[in-house]
């Protein structure tokens, strides 16, 4: 059985650390692992299985002899190094938004569109965390009845903004509970000018604003969903619109997803049944017993949790669902490692000439 | 000028205390104020303007000689005492859900439908907090262009569940930050069997579940909105659907409101202009300068804050907005006191024979 030299780029970040543990827990045969990060993090020691691995500073030559790169360093670093990795023959699965919308880059959710991996040119993109859990939850419904429209509102955990933002929110919470003024230097997003406290607050801004008033996060949910479902016969005219809100939760995005099916014969029971039978989805939908998805329960799990499925009483074919998943695992590290598994299964760990 | 004997029922609760301060800050001429609560709270002293008032236990005879009752004690107590108050000639404005859907009880948002006050039979209902801010924000749009459909997702603060739930969430947050197990005995709702931690979590249950899978809170938003707008010529076929989620915020509900106008000529700029010109609404909608409503900013204010107004790029006439208001003031005490002002203005502080 072939064994792989695997590099983890951005190994010290919130997602990077989960990439290490997800890879360790997978059955992917690892010949050698390289942990790559910025100069600042070089020299740190991290564990892979029982080995202690020293984090190295990333350079183009870090990728010599690497088969597979699992990448989560932020867009600018991905943009700089992944083409270098591909040049050296490494196949890259990237968590950043740097390549997602490029035409020759497959945007993959295993179980949904991993068939599209066969067309890769060296870089495969992991969708945005909020897109992954929504599309994963909707896909069995989409496949069976078609979906004409999606209106989603997100309740996104702070860990999606990175480790520094996460720490900042916890510090703000402590200050707030001690009746002190909370400071904000990062949230809602480090790359914008103004900063606000998130603890005990809601920030309707994730990423920066586009000219049309949508945030880039909302733009991602809309356009990534269309790209992921594009090759599917049912996707010709799927409409998607979104509002993304950051909430004071550590791990686990929530989403209220309102969707309209094309084939109006769908019922709540049918939809529940489809979800139950889909690997990776867990139905938690028993209102009479107060069973519904919650971030505190979903955190630490790889699955997508779905509940509160209800028909809109006044619009035939329109339904609500409440979707929760661990944004660092389901929305990032687990999806990336699942893509790697698909690449290995399909003999695609090679950069096409 | 006539002066009024005013009783505040449920005076020691989170809304009750705000009723006292809102009344004190209003220009309503108060001859005498009575603070009524349960036996347990009787004897407590609360301030009204500079007077110290002793809280009395509520009995039917507490309402003898009372002109006006401002009530926020919870549904069962309202149900028990308000008919007694009306029998004794007092006009009652009630915050509970006990009477809202009764045919002869006007459900009032001043500025929206206070014309309906003239038909009262002694009891006037204050709508649910999440309904008030949504309908207040939509009303100028509804009036000018008509609205055919509303899809709302709420992000509701814990104070809406009462003082005990509020304290519980703060205790849970402290425990969570100290890496201790948080206890839950009240949230999501004291009247249901299971209890979950809300701190750093999301609970997609507010109030109990109906048989159709909607929560009673969602039911309220749907049916109260229809009742409030029912007398308006444009409301014949307004469709409303909702998902209500409790979030770890102290004060200030957020709502993503997706709505479809009937007259498709409406633009984002037109809608912003209408909102700017409506008393009680504050437009905070400047994405390029990161100006948008936030609970921490809205708390302590009587207005409804509106931002993130955007057109759905794929559905003509469909728009998003993000609405935030102080649920204890705008969603409760201020609306109640505003109703009292309308009653006085319209000479309606009398129980019709």
Residue B75: pLDDT band (50, 70, 90) is confident
Residue A62 shares a structural domain with residue A169? no
- A92 has catalytic annotation: no
Domain housing B233: 131-326
What value does the mean pLDDT take over residues B28-47?
96
pLDDT for the residue numbered B133:
98
CA B174, CA B24: separation in Å to the nearest integer?
Answer: 34
Tokens at B149, concatenated: 């459909």
Whether B46 is covered by a domain: the verdict is yes
Residue A89 shares a structural domain with residue A160? no
pLDDT for the residue numbered A234:
54
CA B115, CA B231: separation in Å to the nearest integer?
Answer: 10
Residue B197 shares a structural domain with residue B313? yes
Tokens at B315, concatenated: 């559905």
CA B143, CA B235: separation in Å to the nearest integer?
Answer: 10
Whether A156 is covered by a domain: the verdict is yes
- A129 has catalytic annotation: yes
pLDDT for the residue numbered A17:
95
Residues of chain B in contact with residue A254, where contact means CB-CB under 8 angstroms, are 202, 204, 245
Residue B266 shares a structural domain with residue B164? yes
CA A90, CA A150: separation in Å to the nearest integer?
Answer: 37
Residue A48 shares a structural domain with residue A105? yes
What tens digit of pLDDT does each residue of B266-281 get?
999 999 999 999 999 9
Residue A221 shares a structural domain with residue A317? yes
Q: Are residues A322 and B151, on separate chains, in Cβ contact within 8 Å? A: no
> pLDDT higher for B236 or B255?
B255
Residue A8 shares a structural domain with residue A103? yes
Whether A102 is covered by a domain: the verdict is yes
pLDDT for the residue numbered B233:
59
The residues that bridge with A256 in the sheet, in sequence order, are A153, A322
Mapping DSSP to helix (H, G, I), strand (E, B) and coil, where does residue B254 land? strand
Q: Are residues A173 and B170, on separate chains, in Cβ contact within 8 Å? A: no
Residue B62: pLDDT band (50, 70, 90) is very high
Whether B350 is covered by a domain: the verdict is no
Side-chain half-sphere CA neighbours of A233 within 13 A: 3
Would you call B226 an interface residue with chain A, using a CB distance cutoff of 8 Å? Answer: no
Residue B119 shares a structural domain with residue B199? no
Residue B149 shares a structural domain with residue B8? no
Whether B213 is covered by a domain: the verdict is yes
Residues of chain B in contact with residue A212, where contact means CB-CB under 8 angstroms, are 310, 313
Residue A50 shares a structural domain with residue A186? no
- pLDDT higher than threshold 60 for residue B235: no
**Interface test with chain B among A133, A149, A186, A204, by most B beta carbons within 10 Å:** A204
Whether A350 is covered by a domain: the verdict is no
What value does the mean pLDDT take over residues B28-42?
96
Mean pLDDT for chain B overall = 96
Whether B353 is covered by a domain: the verdict is no
Task: Tell me the CATH number at A235.
Answer: 3.30.360.10
CA B152, CA B321: separation in Å to the nearest integer?
Answer: 10
Tokens at B326, concatenated: 């102080």
CA A244, CA A207: separation in Å to the nearest integer?
Answer: 10
Mapping DSSP to helix (H, G, I), strand (E, B) and coil, where does residue A330 land? helix
pLDDT for the residue numbered A94:
97
Residue of chain A whose alpha carbon sits nearest to that of B286: A213
Q: Are residues A240 and B155, on separate chains, in Cβ contact within 8 Å? A: no
- pLDDT higher than threshold 80 for residue B234: no
0.85 surpassed by complex ipTM: yes
Q: How many domains is chain A partitioned into structurally?
A: 2
Tokens at A173, concatenated: 């919470």
To the nearest whole Å, the CA of A126 is away from the closest chain B CA by 25
Task: Tell me the CATH number at A57.
Answer: 3.40.50.720
Residue B203 shares a structural domain with residue B260? yes
- pLDDT higher than threshold 80 for residue B332: yes
pLDDT for the residue numbered A296:
97
Residue A313 shares a structural domain with residue A341? no
If chain A, 353 residues long, is cut into consecutive pieces of 10 residues, what is the mean pLDDT of each piece?
Answer: 96 95 97 96 95 97 98 90 97 96 96 96 98 98 96 98 96 97 95 97 98 97 93 71 98 98 97 98 98 98 98 97 98 98 97 87
In this structure, of A92-96, A244-248, B189-193, B229-233, the range with the lowest mean pLDDT score is: B229-233
pLDDT for the residue numbered B231:
63
Whether A315 is covered by a domain: the verdict is yes
B256: phi > 0 → left, psi -120 to 50 → alpha, else beta; which? beta
**Other Cβ atoms within 10 Å of B249 Cβ, number:** 28
pLDDT for the residue numbered B236:
63
Sign of CA dihedral A8, A12, A18, A24: positive
Contact A102, A324 (CB under 8 A): no
């Amino acid at each position: 059985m072939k064994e792989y030299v695997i590099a983890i780029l951005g190994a010290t970040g919130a997602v990077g650390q989960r990439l290490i543990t997800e890879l360790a827990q997978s059955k992917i045969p690892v010949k050698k692992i390289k942990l790559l990060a910025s100069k600042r993090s070089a020299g740190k020691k991290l564990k892979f299985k029982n080995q202690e691995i020293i984090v190295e500073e990333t350079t183009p030559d870090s990728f010599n002899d690497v088969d597979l790169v699992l990448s989560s360093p932020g867009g600018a670093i991905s943009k700089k190094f992944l083409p270098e990795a591909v040049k050296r023959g490494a196949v890259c699965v990237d968590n950043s938004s740097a390549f997602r919308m490029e035409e020759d880059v497959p945007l993959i959710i295993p179980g949904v569109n991993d068939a599209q991996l066969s067309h890769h040119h060296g870089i495969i993109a992991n969708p945005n965390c909020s897109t992954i859990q929504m599309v994963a939850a909707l896909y069995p419904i989409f496949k069976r009845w078609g979906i004409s429209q999606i209106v989603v509102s997100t309740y996104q955990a702070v860990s999606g903004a990175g480790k520094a933002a996460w720490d900042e929110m916890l510090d703000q919470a402590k200050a707030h509970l001690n009746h002190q003024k909370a400071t904000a230097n990062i949230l809602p997003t480090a790359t914008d000018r103004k900063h606000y406290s998130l603890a005990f607050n809601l920030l309707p801004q994730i990423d920066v604003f586009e000219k049309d008033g949508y945030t880039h996060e909302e733009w991602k949910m809309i356009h990534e969903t269309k790209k992921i479902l594009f090759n599917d016969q049912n996707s010709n005219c799927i409409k998607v619109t979104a509002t993304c809100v950051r909430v004071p939760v550590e791990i686990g995005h929530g989403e209220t997803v309102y969707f309209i099916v094309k084939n109006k014969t769908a019922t709540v029971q049918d939809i529940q049944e489809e979800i139950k039978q889909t690997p990776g989805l867990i139905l938690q939908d028993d209102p009479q017993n107060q069973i519904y998805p919650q971030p505190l329960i979903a955190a630490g799990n790889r699955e997508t949790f779905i509940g509160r499925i209800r028909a809109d009483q006044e619009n035939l074919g329109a339904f609500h669902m409440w979707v929760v998943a661990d944004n660092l695992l389901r929305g990032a590290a687990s999806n990336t490692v699942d893509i790697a598994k698909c690449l290995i299964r399909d003999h695609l760990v090679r950069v096409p000439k």
